[in-house]
Chains A and B, each alone.
Chain A
Amino acid sequence: MEAFPRDSLRRQLAALGIAPVRHRMAELITLLPVKLNGKPYEDFDADIVAEVLVYLVGKGLIEVPSTELSGLRVAWGERLCHFYRSEEQLLGLLVPYFRQGLEHAERCLWIAGSTRASEKARQSIASLAARQHSPEQLEVVEMDDWTPDVDAWSREQERALAQGYSGLRLCGEALDLSGETQMARTKALSTYSAQSTSTSEIGTLLLRHDAALVKNIDVWQRVPTADPQAAATILSALMD
């Protein structure tokens, strides 16, 4: 028999945006921001799993996890980050991230890390726009060819708006946008290789971003950074 949390907890889950159809124990446990390596989910108490989720989502330490990246809100002006362990993981985010931008009439720009992104990855991202029949909407730039000056980001944003797009969707390897103030119509994603980023560096980098995006098996989780220490703890659990 499928296990569900008690009704009072189900009401709290629903109020936080976790729909009743996702309240089965087997699904709830996938929403936890940890990799449960050993214990079978049947051994967990549904109330406990629900209670942990209610706390984490209710306190804004994670947002309601989604199987689709489109389920994760990316607002104008937001700066997100993602720590990846392989190019496959990186593309697992970039493909839906840019596809979402193309579908929403946003100008897309990827500053590809020269030493990290392979030719295959570049082609895979560039082909997204071609499939959308708007190749000019997405631009892939080599990090080495990109020499941003003081106004580079706001100029790119203005260019996107002048071309009739709704704004700029940006992604780049280790982008430092912390000093930028003119990014009201930009959505920015900085990616970092987890292997070359220490735990203490992750804590510092989180402070420069509004949230981190992490995929836990099939579920995308958005970890806000308002409480950087809690965010670092949750990220560390997800990335272990």
Chain B
Amino acid sequence: MAINRFKTILAAGVTLAAMDVSGVQAQTGSGAEPLGNAEHGAELWEYECAACHEMGRGAENGIGPHLTRIYGRRAADVDGFTYSDSIERMGRDGLRWTFRTLDAYIENPYALVSGTRMSYPGLPDAQDRADILAFMRQFSDMPANIPEAEPTARRIEIELPPEVLAIRGDREWGEYLASECTTCHQRDGAAMGIPSITYWPEDRFVVAMHAYKEGLRPHAVMQNVARRLDNEEIAALAAYFATIDD
């Protein structure tokens, strides 16, 4: 049954995608880059997303929430779906689904929402993501009329070059820097009102902090903290919290 619905949706999506591409091309003259290939995105959707998500007319929540009209929506606001605390918190903090935030989420769900229940390893290929997002866009309200800036604008994503991820953090420096964190985040990992940040894999910590720094993750305090940390300092913090001994 789910498969049948999916096939119907897919067919509609392809048709809409064909219409939409021309609309977008009309905009490219004003400087916007073209969106991805929605037709290819529809194929990817089947392999990457459809096992858990439905989208389109009559779509229902399944393992994951339905994704109809995802663009412009606040995170974690589909009625009747039980979200992780982590994404609920991000929704309240102001996370909205735009091309940019969806792209970051699909690339690495845990980098954007640490405690997400979406069991998906991420899609590393930027073009594939653009294609899926172009496809998903057909199921949001009047996508061609959405103002160029958001949500259809091309992403200005956080790009972490390999050399940034490869920085070996200075743990002793991290311990000093961490004293700013432990005013709120507890060293023993207790999380009540404020999330735990201990024993994270270093790369996940680094990506999360850069996501705050770039404003991709919402939360005023964390954005403020992250914006004045440089690459070395973020790596130092990651090294310390990954191995903290309370």
Q: Do A and B form a real pair?
A: no
Instruction: Give the interface of B toward A (CB within 8 A).
Output: none
Report A's interface with B, CB cutoff 8 A: none
